[in-house]
A and B are shown apart, each in its own frame.
Chain A
Amino acid sequence: MGRNLEVITKLYQQASNTEIHAHEFRDVLVQQFSFAVQKFFNGIADTPYATPWMQGLQAIRKYRYTLVFTLLPANDIDIFPSQILEQLQRWRNVLQQSYPNMILTLDAVSEGFQQLQTHTDTPIADIFQTLIGSDESMILVAADKRQLALHKKALLHSFPNSKIRTCQQSELAGLELFDRLIVIGPAAWFKSYVIAAPRAKRLDVIRPSWIRDVIESNCVFLNNKDVQRTVLVHRSTSKSSNLGIMEIESQGVPESQEEPTLNGEDFLDALEVRPLLDVSIIAQRQRIFDDSEQGNQEFTDARLLVLDEQLGVFLPIDALVYAVDFSKTNDDRVERIKLPAVIENTWIAFRTERSDRELIEQIADRLLGDDKTQFRKLQRDWKQGLENFVQNKGIEKLGERLRFYGAQNASQNNVKRWISNQSIWMDKLDDFKAVMSVLNLVARENEYIEAMRRIDQAHLMAGQKIRGLLLEKLKTITNRQLQKVHLEISMEGVEGGKFGIFRVIGVPDGIVKIPFSRLGKPLPLDD
């Protein structure tokens, strides 16, 4: 704690003394392409293709976004140009029939894209090079995971000898201090504290001159609204074209006194240039993954939780989630809450290696001991019996028969769930007895019921055991570990019992269909 006081003291000292340097660049080809893309997006928004073409449009948006921050030349960005060009050609064919007035706009995108494939200018890297010469401690802050990956790649290839570190902006809130902090892209892409309360004596912002962006460092409270913090904003403009680089230094000119020289139409909004988070596209990708893995998909309604570090996870809408409250005493740290109760900033724990069901099943089987084989066989038998019935006579007919024998809840959805491995058996005994009747198993009804009850009980105990083990592990977590974006803990003696503890940073609207196999698995949101 004593060491912390030293760092905190430095933070207080520099809170009102940070210098912000803005370095602007302009790459004509990138600018032209970006505007062409924007015009195309605006046009498509008024057509019926906006939704079906969403995935392709998103890919182009991501490419444009990358052009604005990457230290690499445009021709070295990790995309597949042939796929994009084929896509553009397919769209052209469609638009020619229905929206011929869009063709010119689309062609401008295609042309710009092709030119960029041989474009080797690196205006961002050129400015960056001038900033990293000294021995100061520096950190390049990425707005998201995609930026971080590309910055790392560029540093390795183009600046192998630099000692500059990289991090995501969410990692910047701790107590580490630097001499200089560098961000690439408009300030609006970064969380306000990166700009307004940087963890460095000096902040350098490298940004394109054609994106509308303001570096704000005004006070936040109304009683101080007119008080500008004593932050110095220097601006140096570096304009580049295909013909070379021309640098104009104008250090010391206050931000407010230097208005953009281009008219308003020549600017794009900073946030417009960022890729959108589209839950339906992410869900669609999960369905594709599942196709390649299994083929026989089972879906459920799910919601996406956005986690720190540009991760997300789909959970069933009726899921019970382990919420972790580190401020509580050890014994109360974990509670199971319903998914709708999960809000921003909740820490949640879920298994990252195996699904909830798989892990519970593993522990439940252990609890069943020698009876496991027999009970599980009985469970498989009646489920297989129902599935065979559906294959021969259809699910509607099965529903009818079950209702005839007294089932109260034999809706199509329920019947599907009963057959699937997602459920153990039914909540109501009458429903199960109806299954026994349909499958001509009434004579062994009691044997089956006893087996299902024991399995049910074992699953319940397995859930409690996991919670207990989780609690034990969570007791060992220190505040220092909490500074991390997410934590992983393993449970000794439980195969696949690795838990990830993540902070939820967003709960987007929208319920989507997700294959069961993709539930509860952390997935990158920016690929």
Chain B
Amino acid sequence: MQFSNIRLVEIQQLLSVMQYQQTNKWFSIPDWACELVTLGFEFAVESYQSQRILALVVPTREMAAAFFGVGLVLGRIFGDTDGKNDFEAFWQLEESTSVKLIIGGVHTGVIQSKTFNASGIREVRVKIDKKRDGSGTELRINEKMKFDFSLPESRVRLRKDASISTEKTSFFEHIAHLLKPTFVPSSKLDCLFVGEKNTLKLAAELVVRVSDTSNSFLMGCLLDVLRPKSVVDVGTVYRCNFLSSRSNDDFEVMNELTSIIFDGSTEFLHCVDQFPKHNWVVILEQSDSQFQAAVDRLNSDFIRRSEDWKPVTQIQGVEMLSFLGEQYGS
């Protein structure tokens, strides 16, 4: 299994317990939407030294940018491997807690002890589950190491037991913690949507819920996860923003890892040159009035690509173009 596949399991598990509301009834998130979220997640988690370009021709653009964006925001949360934060949370777990560790592969085990080693560095010893052949081993995780972890049996139990996640009741934090128990809410521009603000906002108002405990659910909407800066209250955490393709709005200076999601051919053609070094996600529909011009532009960039890149996630009924562009810093 590739590294990306292992990480995709995380988002797929979350999507499997997510539902959307329609006329007061709840339904599972449809496959295409799950795949878009997963693709967005994969796009955000994987890191490259070059600009990445991903173009999708979808049967309809309706909801596509919103679902992809949710995946992207969650992927940025999940992939944001700040070793210190991870260890702080890990350190707070009780002994005997079952954990799933992602460090040079995936390992499940139980926390055995928390100690300081000879150099005074904190260290957590994890007894790794026995394999079929009966062999067992121990992993020592110290605060200098880069790793990821989650709680394989019941994440919800973690929310009650672990001090890091108590009193975090918002839908956004709940979702984030399901993926990454160590997540500390902070504002970041994970992505910028370029398109019709009202349409994007309306799409993101889809009401969803995820299971909280066995008997209850936590309800929110996609907008709660995306948290666009222009929509959330001043001073609260934001994770993305909307930019109208025809406005002269100032956009916040972003680092090169921030992705731009162009929702439509016209939006892409109109604004792409403002973001020559950012990652691009271009969502196109054949009925877009400038569809062919957008395709021509992307094909021409594809010819000048620096390297091929292909996401693991593929979506039925969607044509995809993906490649690496310019190297950062070049």
Contact = CB atoms under 8 A, between A and B. Distances in A.
A262 interface: no
B34 to A, nearest CB: 11
A5 B22 contact: yes
For chain A, which range describes its interface: under 10, 10 to 19, 20 to 34, or 35 or more residues?
A: 35 or more
Q: Which of A15, A192, A219, A325 has the most CB of B within 10 A?
A: A15
Given A192-B292, A327-B195, A5 B63 contact: yes
A248 B196 CA distance: 50
A175 B198 contact: no
Nearest to B249: A328
A175 B299 CA distance: 28
A330 to B, nearest CB: 9
Q: Which of A13, A221, A326, A505 has the most CB of B within 10 A?
A: A221
Contacts of A197: 59, 285-287
Contact of B246 (A9, A220, A224, A327): A327
Contact of B321 (A6, A9, A173, A221): A221
Interface in B29-66: 30-33, 55, 57-60, 62-63
A344 B33 CA distance: 31
B62 A13 contact: no
A223 interface: yes
Contacts of B319: 219-221, 224
B321 to A, nearest CB: 4
Contacts of B205: 1
Contacts of A196: 286
A16 B319 CA distance: 10
B286 A327 contact: no
A443 interface: no
A9 B206 CA distance: 15
A153 B10 CA distance: 58
A11 B60 CA distance: 7
B202 interface: yes
Contacts of B30: 5, 8-9, 12
A2 interface: yes
A11 B57 CA distance: 13
B291 interface: yes
B295 interface: yes
A221 B290 contact: no
Contacts of A84: none
Given A1-B203, A193-B286, A344-B289, A327 B317 contact: no
Contacts of A5: 20, 22, 27, 30, 33, 63, 206
A191 interface: yes
Given A221-B302, A327-B197, A327-B198, A9 B286 contact: no
Contacts of A457: none
B21 interface: yes
B316 A220 contact: no
A45 interface: no
Contacts of A2: 20-23, 27, 206-207
B199 interface: yes
B287 A221 contact: no
Contacts of B57: 220-221
Interface residues of B, number: 52
Given A15-B317, A221-B319, A222-B302, A4 B289 contact: no
Contacts of A220: 57, 295, 319
Interface in B281-330: 285-287, 289-292, 295, 298-299, 302-303, 315-323
A193 B59 CA distance: 10
B142 interface: no
B247 interface: yes
A479 interface: yes
A1 B60 contact: no
Nearest to A195: B286
Interface in B252-301: 266, 285-287, 289-292, 295, 298-299
A8 B198 contact: no
A172 B318 CA distance: 19
Contact of B202 (A172, A222, A325, A479): A479
B246 A325 contact: yes
Given A191-B287, A192-B291, A345-B289, 7 more contacts: A3-B22, A6-B22, A8-B63, A9-B30, A13-B317, A326-B196, A326-B198
Interface of B: 20-23, 27, 30-33, 55, 57-60, 62-63, 195-199, 202-203, 205-207, 244-247, 266, 285-287, 289-292, 295, 298-299, 302-303, 315-323
23 contacts: A2-B21, A2-B207, A5-B30, A8-B62, A9-B31, A11-B60, A12-B31, A12-B315, A15-B316, A16-B316, A172-B287, A175-B62, A191-B287, A197-B59, A197-B287, A219-B319, A221-B55, A221-B319, A222-B321, A223-B302, A224-B321, A328-B246, A505-B289
